[in-house]
Amino acid sequence: MKRLLLQPLVKGSMVVLPLLVTVWLLWSALLWLNGLGLNLLEQLGIDSLFPGMGLGLMLLALLLIGLLFQFNPVSWLYQYVEDALLRFPLVKTLYGAVKDFAAMFDQEKQQGQQVVLIDLPGQGQVIGFITASKIPAAVKAVNESEDLVTVYLPMSYMVGGYTLFVPRSRLTLLDWSFEDAMRFALTAGVSQSQARTRNRDQSGV
């Protein structure tokens, strides 16, 4: 009896929990943006005319900021301010880490991040992403004879991973999109397995 009740309970949890977490995260982000917009309106002495006006204001502001960065003077000014901030150790560590992680999901920058397989002798192969062809001078100084590239190895189900300096000879380039490869790596292949199962069920095979 317990088994008959436990299996549907676990199945229901697996279906509902991802939906609830996704909705909660999106809703929390929207509420946060709306709150920022409402605070800005309050500072300007403007009353909110309709629900969600703060959110609309923030989305409009983000759109305008994105459009402004199409102009070189604005980008140059931002770069100047950013370089000044990065001179402070704590700001450099926090801001730099968050920016670099976010940049991994930038559609434009993803084009330059080649998906590769790294050979691990006696263990198999692991998915990685070439993030830079230019390595730090300190690393290059002790590996002058090696043609090294910087490769990021994501960890399954975790926001983290390893950064390796790997010889090109140990890399196998893959014709695989960054998004699909990252999803496969972060979910340990579960995401792709579920997609295959759904396709098989739909086709009736």
pLDDT per position as a tens digit, 6-61: 777 777 887 788 789 889 989 998 999 999 999 988 888 888 788 888 888 999 99
3-state helix, strand, coil in the chain (%, to 5): 60, 15, 25
pTM of the model: 0.50
Among 181, 28, 191, 1, smallest CA distance to 104 is for 181
Rg for the chain, CA atoms, rounded: 23
pLDDT (tens digit, 9 = 90+) per residue, 171-185? 888 888 877 887 787
C-alpha to C-alpha distance for 149 and 104, rounded to whole angstroms: 17
Structure tokens that stand for 28 in this block: 């929390």
Domain 111-199 falls in which CATH fold? SH3 type barrels. (2.30.30)
Longest dimension (CA), the chain: 70
